[in-house]
Chains A and B, each alone.
Chain A
Amino acid sequence: MTDTTAKTAVTPAVPAAAPTPAPAPRRARVWRGLTPWLFLVVPLALLITFTYAPIANMVAYSFTDWDGVSPQLHYTGGHNYAELFTRSDLFEVFFVSGYYLAASAVQIVVALYFATILSFDVRFRTFFKGVLFFPYLINGVAIGFVFLYFFQDGGTLDSVLALFGYHSSHAWLGTPFSANVSLAGVSVWRYLGLNFVLFLGAIQSIPGELYEAAELDGANRRQQFRHIIAPGIRPVLTLTVILSVSGSLSAFEIPYIMTGGATGTETFVIQTVKLAFQFNKTGLASAAAVVLLLIILAVTWVQRRLVPDDKVDLV
């Protein structure tokens, strides 16, 4: 659609740019200067329209009382931010992130364990790899339903517990604590596979001779892990930590689909979506989003300072 304009526009440049040896005429020089921009015009337009313009607008909205529809909006200064930090019900959603944060710690450890054992010789390796990774590819709504049934009264979990002689009448999604633990557990189930595959890739990129040499020197598996694997996967590990922190702060799909944010499971993003699209508090929602964005950028910045990642130089 849009990119065809760029294509047709570039074609005339072809005859002009070709004869380089002769002192380039003015027109050819102009064309050569323009060529990269013809390739970049559409990507940049999209980038600015859908990333930078929203950020700028969002910061602007956050200082107003706009409801998202009416033509009128009033500048209210830092009022939205003050409300955000003083109204405890708005602030509470950050505690919910704590459950997801704890869950990602568990997730990283378990993923690391399975990545380590499956990078050595194990029977049915491909099968286990597939089983561990597959949940990551499943549609979030389908996962939500699978686990709603899992935690139902008389659902999968209760039936399994009954097999072991434990008859529970516990409503798993009934109290804030157990609901949040259950939902965080679902997100471990869902996202473990990605961490696992990232770790596996990193471990397998460590040259095999290192293990052989270590084995000759009499190092056992634990020592091999500490001195070969752990340093080898450090960059991926820090990346995973970053992804986990920002993922925990922006948890949305699973809690929204499964509980709709009821019984104390409302996360930051659910709250923002509700503020903006149900209660028409665009100004307040924008302020909340700015706060979240700043937190995530701060976390990323800290990570970059702690582990300077030399791979991310584009230039």
Chain B
Amino acid sequence: MSGPRPTRRIVARTLVYLSLAVATVVVLLPLGVVFLTSLKSSKEMADDSGALTLPGNLLNFHNYVTAFQDGRMLSAFGNTAFILVFAIGGTVVIGSMTAYAIDRFTFRFRKLVVALFLVAALVPGVTTQVATFQIVNSLGLFDTRWAPIVLYMGTDIVSIYIFLQFVRSIPVSLDESARLDGAGAFTIYWRIIFPLLKPAIATVVIVKGITVYNDFYIPFLYMPSQDLGVISTSLFRFRGPFGAHWETISAGAVLVILPTLVVFLFLQRFIYNGFTRGATR
């Protein structure tokens, strides 16, 4: 190796790291500034020192208390948890049952059923919301926590795909030997297929959990009551009462982001895989 090659390589390497550094700043700066702002007092906010100055007291959690109490974040986390448990539980049961039935049985109209699920995957939920609203309303679910639960359960095609791929990879001989031992279809599903689906269940729980936790549109439309705020809608309501109090709004935003960050740091690998699998089906 002689001449310009090593230098060129060094330049290329530097540019690569430079671009990564720029990207890191672009991602972390807005978040970091909001975190700093959440630690400032309202006096510091008023003195016009700019967004990048450090707060006087780095342990000033006053705004978090305000945001948590006045922003009703406790009931928001409670409502979100309630919806999460039922929506995810339902999605897992429904998705795995559908996948089992489609993959392990041959029956009339099977192709039609498959096509119904396939075509539904192409219809974006936002487009049909006006008409879905009328149906939810006529079922008496409007402004209850069941509205988002049934909607998350009933329209999750992606998890059905994920389960289907896993059910396919389970050898049929397992079903057959169980059948020889006298097990019926339900016993096979519950005792053999379901336990073997653990990796798929983990994927669905993670992907679905993050989607439900972050969803704004459905709770915003279907649960307008103050008491029924989930974390998205409760945070959205900060706009009114806290108007220009950016220190409180920032604290609220950080409160909402923090759980996601913790989950992400612990489950990183699974989360990447989950989203890759979810999106590419």
Contacts and interface: CB of A to CB of B under 8 A. Distances in A.
Interface of A: 1, 3, 6-7, 10-11, 13-15, 17-18, 20, 33, 35-37, 39-40, 42-44, 46-55, 57-58, 61, 68, 113-114, 117, 122-123, 126, 128-142, 145-147, 149-150, 152, 154-156, 158-160, 162-163, 189, 194, 197-198, 200-201, 235-236, 239, 243, 246, 250, 252-253, 257, 269, 272-273, 276-277, 282, 285-286, 289-290, 292-293, 296-297, 300, 311-312, 314-315
A40 B97 contact: yes
B33 A277 contact: no
6 shortest interchain CB distances as A-B pairs:
A14-B184, A46-B154, A39-B101, A58-B131, A54-B131, A36-B105
Contacts of B265: 130
B6 interface: no
A163 B233 CA distance: 35
A39 B253 contact: no
A62 to B, nearest CB: 9
Residue among A133, A149, A285, A300 with max Cβ neighbours from chain B (10 Å)? A149
Interface stretch (B54-62, B115-123, B197-205): B115-123
A252 B26 CA distance: 23
B11 interface: no
B126 A10 contact: no
Contacts of B196: none
B145 to A, nearest CB: 13
Contacts of B236: 141, 257
B250 A14 contact: no
A145 B16 CA distance: 31
Interface in B251-273: 252-253, 256-257, 260-261, 264-265, 268, 271-273
Given A122-B16, A149-B51, A239-B280, A131 B97 contact: no
A42 B264 CA distance: 33
A13 B183 CA distance: 10
B276 interface: yes
23 contacts: A10-B185, A11-B184, A14-B183, A40-B101, A46-B154, A49-B135, A50-B151, A52-B120, A54-B128, A54-B131, A123-B17, A128-B24, A132-B27, A139-B256, A140-B216, A141-B253, A149-B246, A159-B51, A198-B280, A277-B221, A282-B130, A312-B118, A314-B114
Interface of B: 16-17, 19-20, 23-24, 26-31, 33-34, 37, 48, 50-52, 90, 93-95, 97-98, 100-102, 105, 107-108, 110-111, 113-114, 116-118, 120, 122-124, 126-135, 150-151, 153-155, 160, 164, 179, 182-187, 189, 210, 213-214, 216-217, 221, 231-233, 235-236, 238, 246, 249-250, 252-253, 256-257, 260-261, 264-265, 268, 271-273, 275-276, 279-281
A50 B148 CA distance: 11
Nearest to A286: B130
Given A47-B116, A150-B33, A194-B279, A315 B48 contact: no
Contacts of A297: 122-123
* A interface, over-half SS: helix
A214 to B, nearest CB: 17
B253 A142 contact: yes
A117 B20 contact: yes
A41 to B, nearest CB: 9
B150 A46 contact: yes
B101 A156 contact: no
A96 to B, nearest CB: 15
Nearest to A55: B128
A18 B135 contact: no
Contacts of A198: 275-276, 279-280
A290 B124 CA distance: 11
Given A141-B216, A198-B275, 14 more contacts: A3-B97, A40-B97, A43-B160, A49-B135, A54-B135, A130-B268, A131-B28, A137-B264, A149-B249, A159-B33, A189-B30, A246-B124, A253-B216, A289-B127
